[in-house]
Structure 1
Amino acid sequence: MNSTHLKLSEVLRNLRRDIDALTEGDRDVINLSALFSIIGEQAAAALLLIFSLITLVPNIPGATSFLGIPVVGICAMMLIWGQVWLPGSLRRLSISRERLTGFLTRAIPLVEKVEKLARPRAAWIFVGRRERAIWAWALILAVSVLIPLPFTAMLPSLCLCLMAIGLMERDGLWVMIGSALGVAALAVTVVVAKALIGLLFLAL
């Protein structure tokens, strides 16, 4: 673990403090690529948490498969490149200073509440190829979210949320708990798939 690692809440507070310096000329907007460069290594984990929370909420049948695509994309990019790569069209997107300031004002207290439960520990899990292995396991769980089976998306989404919090705060315990629960999540998916296949054969 890098000794200069900052908590996500500290990164967001620094961003809110320096927001005027990021504003593009007279347009009063902030470029998305600039935001990613400031948030740094925690950007991927924060995005993973956001999209996993979305897939965790029950949706219209079949919608989770669509909503889970960004989760798969984030995990795949972190596994392959070690960072979230944004296409040029997305890098050029901007957000108004007023809207970003409002978002940060609401988000920082929520992040601080999460940080009371998570703290840097079990740093060995983030060393070398082990962190790449974390993203590989997260990718497997993310793909399982896409499988259009009833009652199978919520548990892996919860596991991804726990892992994302651990990645954001460099808390190996949260990552290990989320990873361990992920085994149970995949087992549930397999059981449900087998049951549905059995019912299908009985109906034929």
Structure 2
Amino acid sequence: MKLSQILSQLLVEYADRPLPLSVLLNQVGSSGFGTISGILTMPMLIPLPIPLAGFSTLVGSGIIMAGCQLALGYEKPYLPQRIARIELSPAASQKILKNINRLLQPLERMSRHRFSRFSNSWWGSRITGVCLAWDALLMSLPLPIPLTNLIPAYTILFLAIGLLEFDGLFILIGYGMTMVTTIFFASIAGTIWQLASHWLQVLIKS
């Protein structure tokens, strides 16, 4: 089942009640990792205020766990109860799901089964799992800098769609976006290091 179809079902089922992430645990098998990674990263794709301190870190830790499990060869994902119990209010979940569906539908129309060596092979799954975990780690960093959540979140989305649709091209794009994301965060770290070194020298001289 496509991720947009899953979201459409959730829009109907949770129109007037909080949406718990525990519903993701019902999405098992070959699509489980893609489903969990795709839906967990949804709130990070839409600039909505979420009244929960450390939300990106909590959500990111769920994707990190799913990515690590995929990299280790698990057949089905598992989420700890603390993450599975997270709930979004009806108003927030409806707005998030509708906006994400507008984004997903054109992407899913472009995706199809191809480059199976990346989407079906055991080594491809392990590389994808490592990329998911790494991108989620970067997404969860509490940095007060624009795009530090969005860039890795969209990278995770491409990898998730690739897993759901068995689309090796989307997974390859996700690999490339992972490299770009890594370079982006490395440049931020380099800038912070230079600024810290500069101010340290100023303090020493003074």
Give the TM interval when normalised to the shorter protein. Answer: 0.5 to 0.7
Q: What residue in structure 1 maps to residue 154 of structure 2?
A: 158
The answer to whether the aligner puts 1:187 opposite 2:183 as a matched pair is yes
Superposed CA RMSD in Å reads 3.6
1:142-194, Cα deviation, whole Å (9 max, x unpaired): 11222233232221111110111111001111110111011011101010111
Paired amino acid for 1:184: V
In the alignment, is the contact (CA less than 8 A) between 2:24 and 2:35 conserved in 1?
no
Which of 65, 72, 78 aligns to 2:64? It is: 72
**Does the C-alpha gap of structure 1 residues 87 and 155 become closer, same or farther in structure 2, counting only changes over 3 Å?**
closer
**Which ranges in structure 2 are unaligned for 5 or more consecutive residues?**
10-21, 86-97, 201-206
In the alignment, is the contact (CA less than 8 A) between 1:56 and 1:157 conserved in 2?
yes
Shift, 1:198, TM fit: 1.4
Shift, 1:131, TM fit: 1.4
The answer to whether the aligner puts 1:131 opposite 2:125 as a matched pair is yes
Q: What residue in structure 2 maps to residue 28 of structure 1?
A: none
Shift, 1:203, TM fit: 2.4
In the alignment, is the contact (CA less than 8 A) between 1:55 and 1:68 conserved in 2?
no
Structure-2 separation of matches of 1:144 and 1:34: 24
Structure-2 separation of matches of 1:77 and 1:67: 16
Shift, 1:43, TM fit: 2.0
| Aligned-partner SS, 1:157 | helix
Aligned length: 167
Correspondences of 1:7-18 after superposition (within 5 Å): 7-8=1-2
Structure-1 separation of matches of 2:82 and 2:57: 24
1:85-111, Cα deviation, whole Å (9 max, x unpaired): 2458999x9xxxxxxxxxxxx8xx877
| Aligned-partner SS, 1:181 | helix
Question: How does the TM-score come out when normalised to structure 2?
Answer: 0.65
Q: What residue in structure 2 maps to residue 116 of structure 1?
A: 109
Identity of aligned residues (%): 18
Structure-1 separation of matches of 2:123 and 2:194: 40
1:27-74, Cα deviation, whole Å (9 max, x unpaired): xxxx9698335xx22122011011222223346796433332222122
